[in-house]
Amino acid sequence: MEPIVDTVVIVAICVLGAALARRLGFIAPLVLLVAGLGLSFVPGLPEVHVEPELVLIGILPPLLYVAALQTNLVAFRRALRPILLLAVGLVVFTAFIVGFVVHALLPDIPLAACIALGAVVAPPDAVSTTAIARRIGLPRRMVVILEGESLLNDATALVMVRIATGALLGSAVGFWEITGQIALKAGVGVLLGLVAAVGAAWLHKRITDPLLDDAVSLLTPFVVVIIAEELRSSSVVAVVVAGLYLGHRIPYLLSATSRLQMDAVWRLITFLLEGVVFLIVGLQLRELIGHLETDLATTVRVTGLVFLTLVAARFVWMYPATYLARLFPGVRAREERPPIAVPTVIGWAGMRGVVTLAAALTLPSTEEVPGPYTRDLFVFVAFAIIVLTLLVQGTTLPMVARRLGVREDTTTADALAEANVQHAASRAARERLEAQADGAPASVVERLRALTDSRSNGAWERLGNQEQETPSAAYGRLRREMITAERHVFKIARNEGRISEEVLNRAQRELDLEESQLTRSDE
């Protein structure tokens, strides 16, 4: 009973923290992290201990899968060069730089252990980075690069942690072996992800029950990661590839009901998982401090130096990676030269999160490693880096982007593109209507024509004066009032026994779907 109570309490805190974050205008990870830090010192609160398998198999795969589902595959492919430079090159560079710096500060600790710590703290987090990037209105290409980096860098970091840990425990490895291991595991992961995605797509194509569609979607990331772990390939790459493929194919695979229901299910799951992760990071602080044997001065020195090294290494990598590549004619022809503010903002967007948490928990115990090595110190440093990057970079990134002028208002451009495509879609709908209208009542055909014209006009209206209420907005406002009145009548009829609960549920579902469509069109 006690674990169930603890779980309910943690979820309740996540919900309250997310509500508070929205009220204050902050992103939820920051609020939940601070809440966890404060609650970790509350007397009587049980210590939170997290197993690495829970994060690596239970939390990370669905978060990455949903992020991949929502990523624009076309934009992702166009930005693949900078994404790979950050997701692979920068992670390896950061791991070695941090490793050498920590080894110079603590020369008695094996270099392999220091490089393992560097790999643990190297990858930025998908959740916090994307949330902040979208909220502050960064240009779309920058958001895609940051999303792509945080989707793929996890694989590089986890492979490097395993290789460095193996070297720490006695397995000799060199540069080419590290490179070969990363390439092999990533290659097998890509192949496995594609096979799994094709299989899941085959199932979705043949399923007509939305509940079964939801079940297949929920199972997909877990099945992929379990098989990938058994094959000793990159489970992260496999899950991301499967998500990218299925996200691109979902409009062709699922019915409208399945898409709406699946979107609601995944939004709830990611909301809870993201909240739990950052709350747990904060709650772990008391246990980490309690087990820490290293003196305070050394702990603070190592933590501060690692944080500064991470920030410096990212900037040292960003500028050459952005501008030296343009020495090649092919790159110059495909990509415009960005102003220096762009790599500066991307360089400051280095918040750590879920993967650093998971990787830190996989570090070997002190007893397994010969010679001087303190696991508790390295785990504390990793958790402290999550906290510092979120509190320092996460809170100041909007200001940095604003000061440097790296913002993009896509409202008008999006509205114009939507209006043009909606015009073409409405023309196609009218042509299909005329072709299929034989035998249908004239009043029905006329209603459908009016509906098509209304959708087309609504898209163009969004380009007009934003201060005045458009006809579509007035329609939505008045129709919502009418729906409220209809609902009231149905509820009174149910209360008086004139209709059954089943009739009420059916009517409410139809009204809810209509109101949901009105709300979405207003956003």
pLDDT in tens, 239-297: 999 999 999 888 888 887 888 888 889 989 988 888 888 888 888 777 777 778 788 88
Q: How far apart are CA 65 and CA 241, in angstroms?
A: 9
Instruction: Give the pLDDT of residue 47.
Output: 67
Q: What share of the chain in percent tops pLDDT 70?
A: 88
Q: How far apart are CA 514 and CA 480, in angstroms?
A: 9
- In this prediction, residues 350-365 reach a mean pLDDT of 84
pLDDT in tens, 192-224: 999 999 999 999 998 888 889 999 999 999 999
Task: Compute the half-sphere exposure of residue 431: CA atoms within 13 Å on the CB side of its CA.
Answer: 6
Q: How far apart are CA 513 and CA 509, in angstroms?
A: 6
Task: Compute the half-sphere exposure of residue 373: CA atoms within 13 Å on the CB side of its CA.
Answer: 22
- For the record, the structure tokens of 104 come out as 């110079």
Q: Strands, E, within 25-165: which ranges?
A: none
- For the record, the structure tokens of 69 come out as 């589902």
> Model confidence at 10, in pLDDT bands (50, 70, 90)?
confident
pTM beyond cutoff 0.85: no
Lowest mean pLDDT among 21-30, 177-186, 296-305, 428-437: 177-186
114 vs 121, 160, 297, 468, CA distance in Å? 11, 12, 18, 61
- For the record, the structure tokens of 130 come out as 């994307």
pLDDT in tens, 85-134: 999 999 999 999 999 999 999 988 888 889 999 999 999 886 777 777 77
Where is 259: in which H helix or E strand?
A: helix 256-283
Instruction: Give the pLDDT of residue 216.
Output: 93
Instruction: Give the pLDDT of residue 306.
Output: 95
Residue 45: strand, helix, or coil: coil
Closest CA to 33 of 276, 358, 278, 273: 278
> Model confidence at 415, in pLDDT bands (50, 70, 90)?
low
Q: How far apart are CA 501 and CA 146, in angstroms?
A: 49
- In this prediction, residues 163-186 reach a mean pLDDT of 70
Q: How far apart are CA 175 and CA 178, in angstroms?
A: 5
CB distance 189 to 243 below 8 Å: no
Closest CA to 55 of 285, 386, 278: 278
> Model confidence at 418, in pLDDT bands (50, 70, 90)?
low
Q: How far apart are CA 326 and CA 320, in angstroms?
A: 10
Burial of 328 (0-12, 13-18, 19+ CB in 10 A): exposed
- Residue whose structure tokens are 């934003």: 466
Q: Which range has the top average pLDDT, 162-166, 390-394, 416-420?
A: 390-394
- In this prediction, residues 456-484 reach a mean pLDDT of 72
Instruction: Give the pLDDT of residue 498.
Output: 86
Closest CA to 124 of 291, 334, 359: 359
At a CB cut-off of 8 Å and minimum separation 6, what does 77 contact? none
Instruction: Give the pLDDT of residue 413.
Output: 64
Instruction: Give the pLDDT of residue 7.
Output: 77
Q: How far apart are CA 52 and CA 280, in angstroms?
A: 13
Instruction: Give the pLDDT of residue 242.
Output: 94
Q: How far apart are CA 128 and CA 327, in angstroms?
A: 33
Regarding predicted confidence, which is higher, 331 or 297?
Answer: 297
- Residue whose structure tokens are 């085959």: 202
Instruction: Give the pLDDT of residue 458.
Output: 66
- In this prediction, residues 426-449 reach a mean pLDDT of 78
Instruction: Give the pLDDT of residue 52.
Output: 76
